[in-house]
Structure 1
């Protein structure tokens, strides 16, 4: 079947399905499906949970997410096979080449999805232990921004969530505060003082806002420093070029002219003597 005929068949099917449901009009859904999304290819090293979430978003906007469920009643086997191939192709396009080999001939989207999950989302005790140790030992790395620190922390939380490990909001907040260096002690005390409970989102937002304030203060200090440097250079430049307003000679000011003149006269008399 050609690409055009396949597309027409899919549009006819979805048009009938949408007419029977309370879903949005086809024109609106087609506008969304035409949007372009970029997904970082999964190479086995980046976060599988985040990658899977982004790929699912792509499948939804392309209206291919139905392939990850049971076959829809009333759809022909041929149409079901075609959209499964399209879904598999979309998923594989989001994989790095070294991750495509073991699913390169898969034509069933559910099976392809399950193979990836079985390989990278193994819910083993060993994997849970590794991620929990990584979370409990998580510490701020000198030289990175707070935004980067929060991103690294959230990646660990996302991986644990994918393994169905539930961590309370308060524990997330306390572990995050525990990961900060000593120069954050005052902020930590402020956040904890008088609180019966603390939420992860509140701590995360406070750290982000604090970073913005610190950057703003640093920018102001840099501006003042540059202004002082420019002013100093300007003064130095004037001293080099200024000359005595009385005798028009360089090296002294007008107020010093009489003193220099007296000194020269004394030196002259001494030489004569």
Structure 2
């Protein structure tokens, strides 16, 4: 008999907590990669915000204190939130922000340092997405992930693309072997979504994997059959 129990993060609530408090995931896995200034800041920032939410500290990202939170509690929450954010920074990056006690100011300072929204950076990022192309040997999952990271970076710079434009950019990044797929997706349509394109690409890659596995299995069967026939001949 199979045990159908599933381990779930336990929650705890202090009955004396103020109205803004909510259940906190006490044993949640907070797997945030340490940021050293060279990685993907947008993705790291998203993971840090998730960690703050899981710890019940996301209220600290507000610029001003909510009316129903006492000043002493507000200071404690911010110190805890700042500690969480700094723990996700490398020692070299952490040093410049070691004295900050406001989570909001800390996150803004990090954005200003690593995610500048000036025209030069926007131009650089737009060039990257418009020149985005498939790298031979890359899995389609990695290709789509890289594309989504570029889109996220641009969104963090307040640059927004229409979904159809993103779908067309993705299709334009594919190699010649995908020409039939492009034609199938676009033929007779006035609109196509990025989600539709990605689902189709995932399905195509999955079919390829299944075909390779099937082909490998057939080859192995033929080899075994050949060895068996050879043994029978040798016995004669």
TM-score (norm 1): 0.77
- Structure number with larger C-alpha Rg: 1
Q: Which residue is equivalent to 1:5?
A: none
The answer on whether the counterparts of 1:170 and 1:198 sit within 8 Å (CA) in structure 2 is: yes
For residue 42 of structure 1, what is the aligned residue in structure 2?
35
- Partners of 2:42 and 2:153 within 8 A in 1: yes
* CA displacement, residues 61-82 of structure 1 (integer Å, 9 cap, x when unaligned): 2111111111122533332222
RMSD (Å), alpha carbons: 1.8
* Residues 116, 209 of structure 1: alpha-carbon distance in 2 compared, 3 angstrom cutoff: same
- The reply to whether residue 185 of structure 1 matches residue 179 of structure 2 is yes
Gaps of 5+ in 2: 1-12
> Which deviates further from its counterpart, 113-122 or 69-78?
69-78
Separation in structure 2 between the aligned mates of residue 159 and residue 33 of structure 1, nearest angstrom: 31
Return the offset for 1:131: 0.5
Alignment equivalent of 1:17, drawn from 13, 16, 19: 19
**Which of 130, 140, 150 lines up with 1:146 in the alignment?**
140
Q: What residue number does 2:3 align with?
A: none
How many angstroms does 1:33 deviate by? 4.5
Equivalent residue for 1:159, pick from 147, 153, 161:
153
Could you say which structure has the greater relative contact order, defined with CA pairs below 8 angstroms and 6 or more residues apart? 2
- Structure 1 residues 11-52: Cα deviation after superposition (integer angstroms, max 9, x where no partner): 476x2325xxxx8xx5xx13x354222112222222211111
CA distance in 2, matches of 1:116, 1:33: 27
Q: Whole-Å Cα distance in 1 between the matches of residues 129 and 221 of structure 2?
A: 45
Question: 5 Å matches for 1:1-273?
Answer: 11=14, 15-17=17-19, 29-30=23-24, 32-69=25-62, 70-240=64-234, 242-243=235-236
**Counterparts in 2 of 1:176 and 1:189: CA distance versus 1, 3 Å:** same
Structure 1: runs of 5+ lacking an equivalent = 1-9, 244-273
Q: Which has the higher helix share?
A: 1
Equivalenced residue count is 223
**Cα distance in 1 between the residues matched to 2:156 and 2:84:** 22
Whole-Å separation in 2 of the counterparts to 1:11 and 1:85: 20
Is the Cα–Cα contact under 8 Å of residues 33 and 63 in structure 1 kept in the other structure? no
